[in-house]
Amino acid sequence: MPKRVRWTYTAARTTAHGCTLTVTATAASSDSFAWVVTVVGDGASEHIANGVASTMAMAMEQAEAAARRRAEEIEEASWQYTLF
Protein backbone atom coordinates (compact mmCIF):
# COMPACT_ATOMS: atom_id res chain seq x y z
CA MET A 1 0.00 0.00 0.00
CA PRO A 2 1.43 3.44 -0.96
CA LYS A 3 2.31 5.97 1.69
CA ARG A 4 -0.02 8.86 2.26
CA VAL A 5 0.80 11.85 0.05
CA ARG A 6 1.59 15.03 1.95
CA TRP A 7 0.46 18.25 0.28
CA THR A 8 1.95 21.63 1.07
CA TYR A 9 0.53 24.81 -0.37
CA THR A 10 1.62 28.32 0.42
CA ALA A 11 -0.18 31.32 -1.03
CA ALA A 12 -0.88 34.97 -0.31
CA ARG A 13 -3.33 37.31 -2.01
CA THR A 14 -4.17 40.96 -1.50
CA THR A 15 -5.20 44.07 -3.39
CA ALA A 16 -3.06 47.20 -3.70
CA HIS A 17 -2.98 50.17 -6.05
CA GLY A 18 -6.11 48.90 -7.82
CA CYS A 19 -4.54 45.51 -8.61
CA THR A 20 -4.83 41.97 -7.31
CA LEU A 21 -1.47 40.61 -6.12
CA THR A 22 -0.95 36.84 -5.76
CA VAL A 23 2.14 34.99 -4.48
CA THR A 24 2.40 31.19 -4.49
CA ALA A 25 5.10 28.61 -3.86
CA THR A 26 6.24 27.21 -7.19
CA ALA A 27 5.52 23.57 -7.91
CA ALA A 28 8.94 22.88 -9.39
CA SER A 29 10.97 24.05 -6.42
CA SER A 30 10.32 24.74 -2.77
CA ASP A 31 13.04 27.40 -2.95
CA SER A 32 11.15 29.87 -5.12
CA PHE A 33 7.91 31.83 -5.10
CA ALA A 34 6.04 32.99 -8.18
CA TRP A 35 4.13 36.26 -8.15
CA VAL A 36 1.57 37.76 -10.51
CA VAL A 37 -0.20 41.12 -10.64
CA THR A 38 -3.54 41.49 -12.42
CA VAL A 39 -6.28 44.09 -12.60
CA VAL A 40 -9.91 43.16 -13.13
CA GLY A 41 -12.20 45.27 -15.24
CA ASP A 42 -15.25 44.78 -17.46
CA GLY A 43 -15.50 41.07 -16.66
CA ALA A 44 -11.92 40.22 -17.65
CA SER A 45 -8.57 40.39 -15.91
CA GLU A 46 -5.54 42.06 -17.42
CA HIS A 47 -2.05 40.72 -16.77
CA ILE A 48 0.20 43.49 -15.43
CA ALA A 49 3.41 41.72 -14.38
CA ASN A 50 4.84 38.50 -12.99
CA GLY A 51 8.11 37.08 -11.72
CA VAL A 52 9.89 34.67 -9.41
CA ALA A 53 11.69 35.40 -6.14
CA SER A 54 13.69 33.31 -3.70
CA THR A 55 11.52 34.14 -0.66
CA MET A 56 7.86 34.84 -0.14
CA ALA A 57 8.70 38.25 1.37
CA MET A 58 10.73 39.24 -1.71
CA ALA A 59 7.93 38.04 -4.00
CA MET A 60 5.42 40.15 -2.08
CA GLU A 61 7.67 43.21 -2.31
CA GLN A 62 8.21 42.74 -6.05
CA ALA A 63 4.49 42.27 -6.71
CA GLU A 64 3.62 45.39 -4.70
CA ALA A 65 6.30 47.39 -6.54
CA ALA A 66 4.87 46.30 -9.91
CA ALA A 67 1.37 47.35 -8.86
CA ARG A 68 2.71 50.69 -7.62
CA ARG A 69 4.53 51.30 -10.93
CA ARG A 70 1.33 50.63 -12.84
CA ALA A 71 -0.61 53.07 -10.66
CA GLU A 72 2.09 55.72 -11.15
CA GLU A 73 2.05 55.18 -14.94
CA ILE A 74 -1.72 55.63 -15.02
CA GLU A 75 -1.50 58.78 -12.91
CA GLU A 76 1.26 60.20 -15.12
CA ALA A 77 -0.71 59.44 -18.28
CA SER A 78 -3.81 61.14 -16.88
CA TRP A 79 -1.76 64.25 -16.03
CA GLN A 80 -0.35 64.33 -19.56
CA TYR A 81 -3.84 63.94 -20.98
CA THR A 82 -5.17 66.90 -19.01
CA LEU A 83 -2.22 69.09 -20.09
CA PHE A 84 -2.86 68.59 -23.80
Of 65, 81, 60, nearest in space to 17 by CA: 65
The per-residue pLDDT for 62 is 94
pTM of this prediction? 0.73
What is the residue-level pLDDT of the chain in tens, covering all 84 positions? Answer: 566 655 555 688 888 888 888 888 766 566 788 899 988 777 778 899 999 999 888 999 999 999 999 989 888 887 766 655
Q: Give residues with Cβ within 8 angstroms of 77, minimum separation 6.
A: none
> Are the beta carbons of 11 and 59 closer than 8 angstroms?
no
Alpha carbons 67 and 70: distance in angstroms, whole number = 5
Of 51, 48, 53, nearest in space to 73 by CA: 48
DSSP 47: E
The per-residue pLDDT for 58 is 92
Paired with 28 in beta bridges are none
